[in-house]
A and B are shown apart, each in its own frame.
Chain A
Amino acid sequence: MPTAGATKYSAGKPKKTVSQPERPILTVAIRPEKLFQVSYKGAQNRDDLPRPVGYNPNIAFSSELQTKGTDTDLIVKRSWDIALAPIKQVPMNLFIMWMSGNAISLFPIMMVVMMFFKPVKAIFSAQSTFKTIEGKYAPLQKLVYLLGNVVALGIALYKCNSMGLLPTEPSDWLSFEKPLERVEFLAGGNM
């Protein structure tokens, strides 16, 4: 409906134009600016007017209150998310490791490198990550975050160990072993 559309777009006067359609149009034609004049004076306390559709005077207040409360919760929650992210990765890592096997080939090596690379990078960029962690649990969360990364590193190390990449056995140091010096020297034996 055109009328309804008019009320939607005009603020004050249009109501009149709608309610008095029989008024001479000529004046309107002479001073069109008057026709759409908006007066802010009376708008200060116009309780007589019905409230706009969907307007609830309590909402602004209450929503403000509500946002304040959820914000802190969210920060804590978000911080926990950040802090727990490395630990959440652990089962996935374990699964990948189990999948990639212990053979020394390109794919498992890439996996191991990735596994090392991620936590080390995370630990080195911990300062910037810690900036986003706020709230009262922040120290704990930072600790958890670090611990998570350490656990990830540990798993990577374990993987290396099970792949035999860690020099933990005497066999790994064998090539550094010096030949035994001879005390006596045998010569002769020519036939």
Chain B
Amino acid sequence: MSPFLRYLYGLLCTVLFLLSISQVIEAIHEDQVGLNDWSLQFIGRPLEVLVSATQTGSSKSLAFIYSEQNVLAAIDTKHGEIVWRHVLENGENGTINSGVVLEDEVCVLLNRGRLLRCFDTLTGSFKWEKLFGGQDTHLGKCIAVSDSKERKAPNRIICANDDRIISFASRSGNVQWESKCAKAQKRLLFQSLSGELIVGGLVENKISVKRLSVSTGEAKNAGVDRSAIVHPSTTDCRLVQPASQVPPYLICFDSSTSRLFSHSTSEVADKAQKDLRLEDLGGIAHTTGDGVFLNSFPTDGLFSVSTNGESLLLHLSADGQIKLIKKVTGFYAGCSETDVVIVELADQIASVRVAKYDGNSLTPQAEEALTFPFSTSHGSLESVTLLPSKDVANCIRPAFLFLTEGDVLGLFSQGKLAWKREEGLARLSVTAIVDLPISDIEALVEEEFEEKGSFPVRFTKRLVSQGLQLKKILELAGKRVMSGLRIGKYFHKEQLERDYFNTQKIIVSATESGKIFGLDSRNGDVVYSSLLKNFAKPKDRSIQFYIQRTGAHAPFPSQSVLVGADKRTGNGLLYFFDCITGEQLDQPVTLNRPILQSGLIPVMSSNHLEAIFVLDSDLNLSIYPENLDMPEITAFVKDSLHIFDVCSKTGVARGYRVKLVNKAWKAVEVWSATLTTAGEAVLTVSPKRPHDFVHSQGRVLADRRVLYKYINPNLVAVTVQGTDEGKKPYLKIVGLDGITGRVVFSQVHRRARGPCHVVHSEHWVMYTYWNEKVRSNEIGVIEMYRGFEKPNQTYFSSLESFEKPELSSVAFKLPGFISAISDTVTVEGITHKNLIVALASGSVTQIPKVLLDPRRPMFPTQAEREEGLIPYAPELPLVTENIINYYKKVYRIRGIKTAGAGLESISLVFTYGIDLFFTRVTPSALFDVLSDSFDYWILTVVMLVMTIASVIVRHMANTKALEQAWK
């Protein structure tokens, strides 16, 4: 190819490149899958682990788990991966009450005990389901039984809900028999060792027990009713048989009264009915509401009670006496008829022992206990489920699945920890995307140019700093070589540090139960996790999370604070930690009262720290960290700070100012307004982001006039739902100025109801609701403009501004059910905004803001067309190219967090729900960086060829000129 052609080719490439960036490219190519995005799947907080007693026909050994989040999943016990997963219906309709596993199917009882649904164990494919009917049913219970004693594998499912007991054949789902029983608020169902079916029912102050035949459902006795002080919803029971010839006992624990009962199932008058306090038994402190786990053993008469990480091994004698055998910080599990597995926690180490029970005491089988590390971030041990081994008699090397308070699911097998899963990630409730610190070398470079001190000082500083830099570079090179020799990776990054465009961040999140996670934004790896002690969600409010200092301020550690409540008292609790390492920074602050509101004070102190204020229910305001005594902060709090609060119960909105009374900050009510009337309830309150960057102050029309935006940083959008006289719901959206309480706009949608999700940014508010009339989700948009007049001040004050903005509003239909919505955020706010919408179908899609423009005309004029307004269409198109998670579906998304990167064009998106998904979006394409497809290779070749050609041609031209001169 001649250089000229090469040159042409290069030129063509450049032109093509320029053309390619002129339009938005949103879809990704096959080879870009997982390049900048990742997604993780979870199960949620497990309620029960089901293990098939006889697993046959599969090479994989599976454990089935159903969770609080209405998920049923099968986990490969070898690697801890999800083999299949079903995200069941949201809400009560999908809540799993009970689950059973049979030979080749796993069945769950859903929908308040009304529906039994079965899936194939290996593939997870749906097999059959049965609807029981019934209107006002309560929780039900299912067990798997075998109809004959010879048969080990269960082949029928017996389910009981509040008024009937039904037996189903496995595989076909045919009803074998059905039996009626007295109504109960809580149904208990067990199979005794002798093969009888024992049905228990709890009603307020009454326990009824009945024995039935498994094969026919006929009653073997008339049933006994006993009075007992019992609360059906908080009571859990197990069947314990003291000896093979003695009728079994029902052992129940009522967590609302912390009492343990035992009831004989025999019809003879029960003399040995026991009513014990847990404290009397073994000295475990139990406070109301703590979860209690009752566990029955294959060993005669043994059972255990676990709460708050402590377990009591108890024995029930044939005459109904309960005595304590041993107490342990950990858990007991029955392995065989004589052996008990004890998992004990001490000093972040779990030790596993197998002990033999001889009727009186436990004797450990082996001297040495098997141990595995058990981090404090796991919390206490909540339950242990033994996996059946092929040799049942062999309990020496037990394998078990354990579940902890910090939602860690793990497998201990072969004497070591095989795997663990952080299921707490499925329950995130607050999250932030935080800048990482710059690398050590860059930090040294920054220090080098600090302009402090006189010339010689600065000069020596510079020399020293450069020396240090050299040392650091050499150290790093040495480290790389060493690690390269060791693991074969020369460019392995150990430390989290910022990349060139600041796209790599750390995602800091917390759950409502006080578990903190730090995730690497490159791949979703858990960098750190920790479980806060006594941390809980405040009553009626959500937990709050503030970043006080990011990792960008090199010598200082990053700092963030989690605002919640003390589990025991409900008073405010502040927990300070470093969001890069997860280390606790200061002692947690416990307040004397519950927290009403909290927020960041946007005044940066000399060490780049932003303080937070906390307003307690007694309207006292305190500032943390307390030692930060700066006049700027004092002035800010006194002059500028206004606090806004809406009581979700009463619907009263209040605005406060802060005053100094007796050297203490006190909030003073400035205004209050009742937003609701009878039958109305506040759904959402959406203030703006504290720092909402809006680059353009207006919109240019086709005639080149400017329509100025009404940007009120103090505007708060409140949605209220109510029911009108005709029992039809309606939705009200009110825009309030949070400083003066002035209503800026108010709109009502008839026959509309929640769930409502609101995005409030720039000069617009978007809200989603369900339109009952057309039965579809709609997005309403309100834009506010101040008109064509240029604002004549350089500041915005709510106290001085009385203008009524011009509103334009419109609603669009969205084909899909919205579970979360957010807008993209960039560094300077120059880039267009896209709306990120998570749909219930599992897709996360982006909708350009241009489509959600209330100014979209029905029939555009020439001028409107010139302005780029798209003609109005009531339905928003869901373009498949705009689905940012392509085929990686994510379910039950509760929130979307967006953050800017170092590049203006990039916005980072993190969606969290049961699944996590992280990606980057470019709403206006990558306009500030060369695209990935840019051919550097061709460019280099063209440049080289051109240079060489010019040298050659020059030489040739010289020769020719010389020859010409000689002629």
Chain A residues near B (Cβ < 8 Å): 164, 169-172, 174-175, 177-191
Question: Could you mark each residue 628-648 of chain B with 1 if its beta carbon is under 8 Å from any beta carbon of chain A, else 0?
Answer: 000000001000111111101
The reply to whether the CB of B735 lies closer than 8 angstroms to some CB of chain A is no
Across the interface, B646 reaches (CB within 8 A) one of A180, A185, A191, namely: A191
Alpha-carbon distance A177/B700, docked complex (angstroms): 13
Query: Is B600 an interface residue, CB under 8 A from the partner?
Result: yes
Residues of B within 8 A of A182 (CB): 713-714, 795-797
A188 and B643 form a contact (CB under 8 A): yes
User: Are the CB atoms of A180 and B793 closer together than 8 Å?
Assistant: yes
Cβ 8 A contact of B698, one of A174, A181, A191: A174
A183 touching B706, Cβ below 8 Å? no
Min CB distance, B629 to chain A, in Å? 20
Within the complex, what minimum Cβ distance (angstroms) separates B801 from chain A?
10
Complex interface residues of chain B between 618 and 660 (CB less than 8 A to chain A) = 636, 640-646, 648, 656
User: Given the known A-B contacts A171-B700, A191-B685, are A183 and B646 also in contact in the complex, defined by CB atoms under 8 Å?
Assistant: no
* Residues in chain B near residue A172, CB distance under 8 A: 704
Minimal beta-carbon separation of B938 from chain A (angstroms): 24
Chain B residues within an 8 Å CB radius of A189: 597, 644-646, 685-687, 716, 738
**B:769-812 near A, CB below 8 Å:** 790-791, 793-800
Determine, out of B202-210, B250-258, B264-272, B688-696, the stretch whose residues face the partner at the interface.
B688-696
Q: Give the docked Cα–Cα distance between A76 and B719 (Å).
A: 85
Complex interface residues of chain B between 893 and 925 (CB less than 8 A to chain A): none
A186 touches B696 (CB 8 A): no
Tell me the complex Cα distance, A188–B644, Å.
5
Closest chain A CB from B551 CB (angstroms): 24
Q: Which residues of B contact A185 (CB under 8 A)?
A: 602, 636, 640-642
How far apart sit A190 and B541, CA to CA, in the bound complex (Å)? 8
Which residues 830-867 of B sit at the A interface, judged by CB distance below 8 A?
Answer: none
Q: Is B705 an interface residue (CB 8 A)?
A: yes
- Give the nearest-CB partner of A169 in chain B: B704
Given contacts A186-B713, A189-B645, 20 further A-B contacts (CB under 8 A): A164-B704, A171-B700, A171-B704, A171-B706, A174-B696, A174-B698, A174-B700, A177-B698, A179-B697, A180-B711, A180-B791, A183-B640, A183-B795, A183-B796, A184-B640, A184-B714, A189-B686, A190-B598, A190-B685, A191-B648
Q: Is B599 an interface residue (CB 8 A)?
A: yes
Is the C-beta of B684 less than 8 angstroms from some C-beta in chain A? yes
Report the Cα distance A187→B716, complex, angstroms.
Answer: 10
Our pick among A164, A177, A181 for the contact of B697 (Cβ within 8 Å) is A177
Q: Which residues in A have their C-beta under 8 angstroms from that of B690?
A: 187
Say if the beta carbon of B739 comes within 8 Å of chain A.
yes
Inter-subunit contact B541/A191 (CB<8 Å): yes
Check if B695 sits within 8 Å of A186, measured CB to CB.
no
B687 neighbours in A (Cβ, 8 Å): 186, 188-189
Residues from chain A with Cβ under 8 Å of B419 in the complex: none
Give the residue of A175, A180, A184, A191 whose beta carbon is less than 8 angstroms from that of B695.
A175
- Contact, CB under 8 Å: A183 / B738: no
A180-B796 in contact (CB<8A): yes
A183–B704 CA distance with the chains assembled, in angstroms: 31
Say yes or no: B714 contacts A171, CB within 8 Å.
no
Contact pick for B641, options A169, A175, A179, A187, CB 8 Å: A187
B686 vs chain A, min Cβ distance (A): 8
- Determine if A190 and B542 form an interchain contact, defined as CB atoms under 8 angstroms apart: yes
B95 CB, min distance to chain A CBs, angstroms: 25
Q: How long is the Cα–Cα vector from A178 to B795 in the complex, in angstroms? A: 10
B84 within 8 A of A: no
CA distance A52 to B796 in the complex (A): 103
Q: Which residues of A contact B600 (CB under 8 A)?
A: 187
Tell me if B110 is interfacial: C-beta within 8 Å of chain A: no
At the interface, yes or no: B544 with Cβ under 8 Å from chain A?
yes
A-B contacts, 30 listed (Cβ < 8 Å):
A164-B704, A174-B696, A174-B706, A175-B696, A177-B697, A178-B794, A180-B697, A180-B793, A180-B795, A181-B795, A182-B796, A183-B795, A184-B642, A184-B799, A186-B642, A186-B713, A187-B601, A187-B613, A187-B644, A188-B597, A188-B598, A188-B687, A188-B738, A189-B645, A189-B646, A189-B686, A189-B716, A190-B541, A191-B682, A191-B684
Measured between beta carbons, the chain A residues less than 8 angstroms from B160 are none
Contact B642 A190 (CB under 8 A): no
The answer to whether B794 and A181 touch across the interface, beta carbons within 8 angstroms, is yes
Residues of B within 8 A of A186 (CB): 642-644, 687, 713-714, 716, 738-739
Residue in A174, A177, A186 with the greatest tally of chain B CB atoms within 10 Å: A186
Residue from the list B541, B597, B716, B798 in contact with A184, Cβ < 8 A: B798
Most B Cβ at <10 Å: residue of A171, A172, A188: A188
Contact A187:B695 (CB < 8 A) given known A181-B794, A182-B795: no
B736 to chain A, nearest CB (A): 10
Cβ of A184: which chain B residues have Cβ within 8 Å of it? 640, 642, 714, 739, 797-799
* Shortest CB distance B713–A (Å): 5
B642 cross-chain contacts in A, Cβ below 8 A: 184-187
Judge whether B697 and A174 touch: CB under 8 Å: yes
For residue A187, which residues in chain B have a CB less than 8 angstroms away from its CB? 597, 599-601, 613, 641-644, 690
* Neighbouring B residues of A177 by C-beta, 8 Å: 697-698
How long is the Cα–Cα vector from A180 to B541 in the complex, in angstroms?
33
- Please judge, given known A-B contacts A171-B700, A187-B613, whether A181 and B796 are in contact too, CB under 8 Å: yes
In the complex, what's the smallest C-beta–C-beta distance from A128 to chain B, in angstroms? 30
**Is the CB of B752 closer than 8 A to any CB of chain A?**
no
B615 within 8 A of A: yes
A184 to B656 Cα, complex, angstroms: 12
Chain B residues whose CB sits within 8 angstroms of the CB of A181 once the complex forms:
794-796
Taking CB atoms, residues of chain B closer than 8 Å to A174 are 696-698, 700, 706
Look across to chain B and name the residue whose beta carbon is closest to the beta carbon of A172.
B704
The reply to whether A190 and B597 form a contact with Cβ atoms under 8 Å apart is yes
Complex: A174 Cα to B701 Cα, angstroms: 12
A residues in contact with B544, CB < 8 Å: 190
Shortest C-beta distance, B654 to chain A (Å), equals 9
Quick one: CB contact mask for B541-552 with A, threshold 8 Å, 1 for yes? 110100000000
Residues of A within 8 A of B706 (CB): 169-171, 174
Q: In the complex, what distance in Å separates the CA atom of A104 from the CA atom of B713?
A: 37
Closest to B693 in A: A179
User: Taking each of A174, A177, A187, which has the highest tally of chain B beta carbons within 10 Å of its own beta carbon?
Assistant: A187
A177 to B697, CA, bound (A): 7
Assembly CA distance A178 to B738 (angstroms): 23
Q: Which chain B positions have C-beta within 8 A of A164?
A: 704
B residues 668-727 near A (Cβ < 8 Å) are: 682, 684-687, 690, 694-698, 700-701, 704-706, 711, 713-714, 716
Instruction: Determine the distance from Cα of A179 to Cα of B714 in the docked complex, in whole angstroms.
Output: 14
A34 to B452 CA separation, bound complex (whole angstroms): 111
Closest to B701 in A: A171
Chain A residue nearest to B716 (CB atoms) is: A189
Q: Which one of A171, A179, A188, A190 lies within 8 Å of B705 (CB-CB)?
A: A171
Nearest CB of B to A39, in Å = 46
**A172 CA / B704 CA spacing, docked (Å):** 8
B645 x A188 contact (CB < 8 A): yes
What's the minimum C-beta distance from A121 to chain B, rounded to whole angstroms?
27
A174 to B795 alpha-carbon distance, docked (Å): 16
Partner of A188, one of B601, B615, B694: B615
Interfacial chain A residues near B800, Cβ < 8 Å: 183
B714 / chain A contacts, CB cutoff of 8 Å: 182, 184, 186
- Distance from B19 Cβ to chain A, minimum over Cβ atoms (Å): 12
> CA–CA, A178 to B696, complex, Å?
9
Would you call A169 and B797 a contact (CB within 8 A)?
A: no
Beta-carbon contact of B694 and A179 below 8 Å: yes
What is the CB-to-nearest-CB distance from B15 to chain A, in angstroms, rounded to a whole number?
12
Cα of A179 to Cα of B682 in the assembled complex, Å:
32
Question: Could you tell me the distance between the alpha carbons of A61 and B797 in the complex, rounded to whole angstroms?
Answer: 95
> What are the residues of chain A within 8 A of B797 when measuring CB–CB?
182-184
Instruction: Please report the C-alpha to C-alpha distance between residue A178 and residue B601 in the assembled complex, in whole angstroms.
Output: 23
Q: How far is the CA of A182 from the CA of B641 in the complex (A)?
A: 11
Asked if A180 contacts B794 (CB within 8 A), the reply is yes
- Given A183-B640, A186-B716, A187-B690, A170–B799 Cβ distance below 8 Å? no
